[in-house]
Structure 1
């Protein structure tokens, strides 16, 4: 992914108003992100922990999506959950259901789309082996890193298509 500016990020959102996009809390360390290893920029809002955001390049256009993070019931320490995008397994709350308001008329009627995602939205780094899940890990499989990246991107694009479709 190419490095993004604050302007790039704020103008990319498709499921919130311009005012909401202007007010959302951005990551403080944009310049320090490992852009070459990212399939999307994802972050939790430090001022509102129930909010998360992701911005992805979709066919040359940036698509930003505002997410709500469910606070789900406390999980058993040994219980494992799997991210639907990168297929990384986590223990103890490392995966959460995140919902996005759909675009257009469906969104105005209150329709949402949900996906189980890594709570830190570091799917790209897990896929590439740049970060390890605490108490979890990636499924033992024979795919190459490039194949895993392609699968992660495919799952991400399918989610974005549900939000915008």
Structure 2
């Protein structure tokens, strides 16, 4: 259940606000982005995301509920609901939320009202497993570099012991160093 909005409603009455949000949502689903005021965009965002969540379910009761919320009284709204359930819903299937994005674009020329663009986020989401695999690959590529450094250190230590040893003992030290590298 939606909580009532605090402060003045958009348009004056609850019915007008509901109709305005339904029309904005229909335009958002039809054009994939809408330019409106920041206040209307912020009120539209949870409404549109809830409709997309219904579209992700994809069953008949969800479709009827969305048609009731968008007030499908003419054929164009039915085509918008169809597009929502056949194109937008499956595109958002991997996304767990955040279906819309609000970008502020400055103030309107006439009345200096702050304007924003609300758009659908249609980019595919990278699953967490892909991120984890990339991190494991990065760690695996770093690990052999560390091992090489350790081997170089052992060779340097072997050379240091050769310098300290007398000239007669150099041959056994070289044999020992060759045995470690094999």
Q: Same fold (TM over 0.5)?
A: no
TM-score (norm 2): 0.26
Structure showing greater Rg: 2
The structure whose residues are more often strand, as a share, is 1
TM-score if structure 1 supplies the norm length? 0.27
Q: Which has the higher helix share?
A: 2
